[in-house]
């Protein structure tokens, strides 16, 4: 088979190195995947920070041209991400505006969105590169921290926006509004706004429901609320959500747990649906429910 994707960007542990990156360099994982892609008729590039990590750990220059994220968006028609879900979150947000599809090879632990096992990637990728795949679009949130009427922090999130209390402080008090309607003042350790993609992450561990990726909604999940009747709420993603910090010390807002903004009393975290979505490609026959059964260990021990 000949690949329908002519220019493929190979992306590794985005903005991270260490033991895993060093292991990748020693056992030639990235080099092996690049060679395989070339055998399928692809021109291979590497994302620039991936190349820098590989060179630092292996002590050698990559034989593939290194591109910035912007250059990948302009020149490539596929991104192949090798790592865990955090790697995919980081690059997915940045490439969403370019509409480039992403395939994930799992080199992490859970792998909800990097779902192709490393030990079987060649057999899985051959038909996908030829056009045999399922396409899956994931929504993004656009979040801003507003202070005295001005934006002091701006970020995209694929999983969640989380307002948290300080590590050594008590509860925070948050004023929550949805679609310009006041909801409640909540006292809790924090509050999570999660997309369907993020519903299997922090929101799940805090007691939130699972949302199918096709649901145009968000889930609002309190973290250890003072009032036990404060329960998770499913909201339409067309509504703007505003969380104002009314009380509490050392509070912060996290975006996909990869960027952080320190909050002051009176700050408002404003969350809207982004104009962009991330495009994932999965093997033919892929099902969201297959992923849930495998990753959440459903049906184990049953007859």
Q: Which CATH number fits domain 7-131: 3.10.580.10, 3.40.50.1010, 3.40.50.10330, 1.10.3720.10?
A: 3.40.50.10330
DSSP E strand stretches across the chain: 7-11, 43-47, 65-67, 78-83, 101-106, 116-117, 133-147, 150-157, 160-164, 172-178, 181-188, 190-194, 217-223, 233-236, 241-247, 252-255, 259-262, 268-283
Residues serving a catalytic function are 85
Question: 7-131 and 140-274: same fold?
Answer: no
Q: 140-274: CATH homologous superfamily?
A: Probable inorganic polyphosphate/atp-NAD kinase; domain 2 (2.60.200.30)
The pLDDT profile of the chain, 303 residues, written as one tens digit per residue, is 568 999 999 999 644 444 344 455 445 889 999 999 999 999 999 999 877 655 544 434 568 999 999 999 999 999 999 999 999 999 999 999 999 999 999 987 778 999 899 998 999 999 999 999 999 999 999 999 999 999 999 999 999 999 999 888 889 999 999 998 999 999 999 999 999 999 999 999 999 999 999 999 999 999 999 998 999 999 999 999 999 999 999 999 999 999 999 999 999 999 999 999 999 999 999 999 999 998 998 987 654
Residue spans of the domains in the chain: they are 7-131, 140-274
Q: Are 147 and 266 in contact (CB under 8 A)?
A: yes
């Amino acid at each position: 088979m000949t690949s329908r994707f002519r220019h493929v960007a190979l992306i590794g542990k985005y903005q991270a190195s260490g033991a895993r990156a060093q292991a990748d360099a020693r056992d030639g994982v990235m080099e092996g995947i690049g060679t395989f892609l070339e055998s399928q008729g692809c021109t291979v590039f590497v994302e620039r920070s991936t190349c820098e990590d590989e060179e630092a750990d292996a002590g050698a220059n990559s034989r593939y041209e290194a591109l910035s994220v912007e250059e990948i968006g302009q020149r490539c028609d596929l991104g192949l991400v090798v790592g865990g879900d955090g790697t995919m979150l980081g690059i997915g947000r940045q490439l969403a505006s370019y509409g480039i599809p992403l395939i994930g090879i799992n080199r992490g632990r859970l792998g909800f969105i990097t779902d192709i096992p490393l030990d079987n990637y060649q057999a899985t990728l051959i038909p996908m590169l030829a056009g045999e795949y399922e396409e899956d679009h994931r929504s993004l949130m656009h979040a801003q921290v507003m202070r005295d009427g001005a934006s002091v922090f701006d970020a995209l999130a694929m999983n969640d926006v989380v307002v948290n209390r300080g590590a050594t402080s008590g509860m925070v008090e948050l004023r929550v509004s949805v679609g310009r309607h006041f909801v409640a003042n909540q006292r809790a350790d924090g509050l999570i706004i999660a997309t369907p993609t993020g519903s299997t992450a922090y929101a799940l561990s805090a007691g939130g429901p699972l949302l199918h990726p096709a649901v145009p909604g968000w889930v609002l999940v309190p973290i250890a609320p003072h009032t036990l009747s404060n329960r998770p709420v499913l909201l339409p993603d067309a509504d703007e959500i505003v969380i104002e910090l009314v009380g509490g010390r050392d509070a912060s807002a996290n975006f996909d747990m990869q960027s952080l903004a320190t909050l002051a009393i009176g700050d408002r975290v404003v969350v809207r649906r982004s104009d962009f979505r991330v495009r994932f490609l999965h093997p033919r026959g892929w099902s969201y429910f297959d992923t849930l059964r495998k990753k959440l260990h459903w049906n184990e021990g049953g007859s």
